Amino acid sequence: MSTPRTTAAAPAVGHSLKHLAFHLLTPLLMCLGMAIAYQGAFHQPEPHHLKVAVVGATPEARALAGAVQGRAGDALDVTSLPDRAAAEQGLLDRDLVGAFLPDASRPELLVAKANSDTSAMAAEKVFQRVTAQQGVPLAVTDLTTPSEGDPTGQGLFFLLVALSIGSYGSVAVIGAAGAALAMRIRVLVGLGVSLAVSVIGILTAGPVFHVVDHDLAGVWALGWLYSAGVIGIGIGLHTFLKRWTTLAMMVLFVMLNFTSSGGVYRPELQNGFFGGLHSFWAGAGFLEGARSLLYFDSRAGFGGHLLTLALWLAVAGVLVVGAALYERRGRAVASGAVGAGAVGGAGGPVGSVGSVGAARGVGPSRGEGPGAEEEMEESAVAI
């Protein structure tokens, strides 16, 4: 005889499928967000107000600058500079992407590839068209010297990726497994983790791969400031968003962060949205600050990039304080509910014990059990 099927089987399967579908929302939203962000930022790089100069005080040089601007339209911002020294100064101050020195036999383009290799290549293409009409080759001179282990100048971007993943990946662990700890303890743990992340980053970027071959202490300090801001924001957000914190951190510090950092394309090769984010987003603050420190003698806007990182850390502080006040108010409400249950007397229903326990925050909501594990699993998926 066949064993009769229980009526509870179908509802149990249905509940499990709903539970599975709910948890699949996070990776699917990550997929959608990454597709939109990365393709939106990188799919069609075109110059937008790329700043270049034509060097020379002669009428012919000024006429050439006007002709290049006229043909390029909004793709270029062409200026005239009197001499080579002014052109070099503009490039080292990161105000220019390229400076063209016209010459009948040996035209030359000055660039600073450490500012952005892809932007320098875009400027080179512009003036190759000019020299092609003359029938002479274009000589390209790079005013910066890349690190031994970073000939393309993009190694700092991969350092940013490592710092970001180490930082936001730690947030779910601190928020879930450490939810029973007081906010001040979680913040101290976060500072310790950010220190560890920054040390790992500078050790691999410096002595191991030689992406950073000088000013290690300065780049390390920028990395710690950046990581502390990311982790602080995550700790603060976790109080309000819980399991959705990982997705929020992915949006803030991957989807919008990497795409606007300038590590692949700087704003002059991106659309207005990502170019606008570059002026104040955390990843751009770290990356451009490190570039200025390593290749431009701590000038070229270094103070502004440092201020950007400090402001993100300040936002983290505001979020943490707000989260601490919110949790304190929740504990006060829970204590009031416990007191009201006690006044009701011992003759209440047995079920009230469970409600009192819930009010006190005992169980999975304290960072233990399946809820915490699921959050940490989603963090692993995100990484």
Q: Of the candidates 106, 118, 123, which has an alpha carbon nearest to the alpha carbon of residue 52?
A: 123
Number of helices (H), then strands (E), in the chain: 14, 5
Residue 190 CB contacts under 8 Å (≥ 6 apart), including other chains: 170, 174, 228, 231, 232, 234, 235
Query: Could you give the CA distance from residue 266 to residue 278 in angstroms, rounded to a whole number?
Result: 8
Closest CA to 123 of 99, 159, 157, 151: 99
pLDDT (tens place) for every residue of the chain, 383 residues total: 555 555 556 678 888 888 888 778 888 888 888 898 888 888 888 899 999 999 998 998 999 999 999 998 999 999 999 999 999 999 999 999 999 999 988 999 999 999 999 999 999 999 999 999 888 999 999 999 988 888 888 899 999 999 999 999 999 889 888 878 999 999 999 999 999 999 999 999 999 999 999 999 999 999 999 999 999 999 999 999 988 898 999 999 999 999 999 999 999 999 889 989 999 999 999 999 999 999 998 777 899 999 999 999 999 999 999 999 998 888 777 777 766 666 555 544 444 444 444 443 434 444 444 455 555 545 554 55
Predicted TM-score of the model (pTM):
0.84
- Nearest one of 47, 243, 249 to 166, comparing CA atoms: 249
